[in-house]
Amino acid sequence: MRDLVNLVVDLDGERFSPSSAFAARETLSQAGFALEERRSADDTTLAWIDAAFGGWWSSEAYASQNLIARRGGVPAGFASFDPQGLDFAWLRGGRVEPGTGVFGPFGVAAEERGGVLGAALLTLGLASLRERGFARAVIPAVGDEALVRYYAEHAGARAGATFSAAPFLERRARAVLMASGSGSNLQAVLDGCAAGALPLEVASVVCNNPRAYAIERARSAGVSRVHVMPWQRKAGETRDAYDARLLETVAGERPDIVLLLGWMHLLDARFVDAMPALLNVHPAFLPLDPERDDVGMPDGMVIPAFRGPYAVRDALAAGSRWAGASVHHVTAKTDRGGVLVRAPLAIEEGESEEDVLTRLHPVEHALVARAIWRWTFERPGRPETAAAS
């Protein structure tokens, strides 16, 4: 992962004045774009962001003020600014000076790039920060040299603090991986760790199904501590006793993070409360608002959230045109923890549950890796060692 830089933009002067903002709005109107400004963003736009750009930009837009440009009612570009409640490492430790507004993420549909939309949205977003009283803006965590040049040309941006991912790879978080089935997500994490692409040290793997292929995957990868822990109901073990045994085993590994990678046993509140961090991959496109029971999709459809163990089966039974995957924090409420990353997946006509799951697995693998990095960058305590000016 390449180093990132926080770009700084001075907001005084004519470039971001009210007259320049007015001119940018006129440019968009004449080009056929409708412009909307709102706190957070609507579900269709958030889902479009996930489909078009990946990563975790939708959750940043969800926490921010947004300018959304549409052509024919369809999202064509967006600019987020002035986020609330985000705690990424590149926003901490003096990397953003007091009184400095935050701009981004910022994205334009592929078919609209090279036209007027990008520069106009950039101008309007930065002008909006100026209207809010900020004298300068930071565009955080830019890693692409072409984007650095773009921001320099269209916003007069200059380099500020830099941020390196290297210390996170050097000081890996201690992880326990839990799985119940084939373990394709487990394999993806093990492979990522072995390749040095994920900032984790795998302390152990826990499996509650003695016939699961996940066990063989863990042993073949050289994981020295593999706990096979079925619930011994026939031997008279109560559910409470099993949950206590499971908690003792996992807590004894002293994890910094526990990843549920196809884990099919509902964890009790004691377990959830005892873990420092607990993430789950779920085969559905979950709403960013954990209280919602439905979620908007990129085409404007609203579908059920499809929580629970058979999300793809439930989606097919409901006749949904959409499935997806999400990685979320685990809470006492099933599949209602905060979402770190997610991606929609269109269901093709005539597909079976197995067909959808086969296409969904690579999506899940990518999301789990992104979620691990996002958790790492939001984790308190270590990022201050990763900055330079």
**List of the chain residues with pLDDT < 50:** 383-389
Amino acid making up residue 83: P
Assigned token pair, 281: 């991959």
Give the chain's domains with CATH numbers.
4-164 (3.40.630.30), 167-380 (3.40.50.170)
Assigned token pair, 39: 């706190």
Tens of pLDDT, residue by residue over 262-297, are 999 999 999 999 999 999 999 999 999 999 999 999
Q: Can you list the alpha helix ranges (DSSP code H) found in 136-183?
A: 145-155, 166-170
**CB atoms near residue 6 (< 10 Å):** 23
Nearest by Cα to 366 from 305, 323, 324, 321: 324
pLDDT at site 383: 45
Tens of pLDDT, residue by residue over 321-349, are 999 999 999 998 889 999 999 999 999 99
213-220 helix and 184-194 helix, angle to the nearest 10 degrees: 10
pLDDT at site 389: 34
Q: Give me the residues paired with residue 221 across strands.
A: none
pLDDT at site 382: 53
The Cα 89–Cα 3 span in angstroms is 13
Tens of pLDDT, residue by residue over 39-74, are 999 999 999 999 999 999 999 999 999 999 999 999
188 and 45 in contact (C-beta within 8 Å)?
A: no
Nearest by Cα to 102 from 156, 45, 60: 60
145-155 helix and 117-131 helix, angle to the nearest 10 degrees: 60
The Cα 111–Cα 383 span in angstroms is 37
What are the C-alpha distances in Å from 312 to residues 290, 320, 363?
19, 10, 14
Q: pTM for the complete prediction? A: 0.94
Element spanning 39, H or E: strand 34-39
**How many CA atoms within 13 Å lie on the side-chain side of 190?**
23
pLDDT at site 381: 63
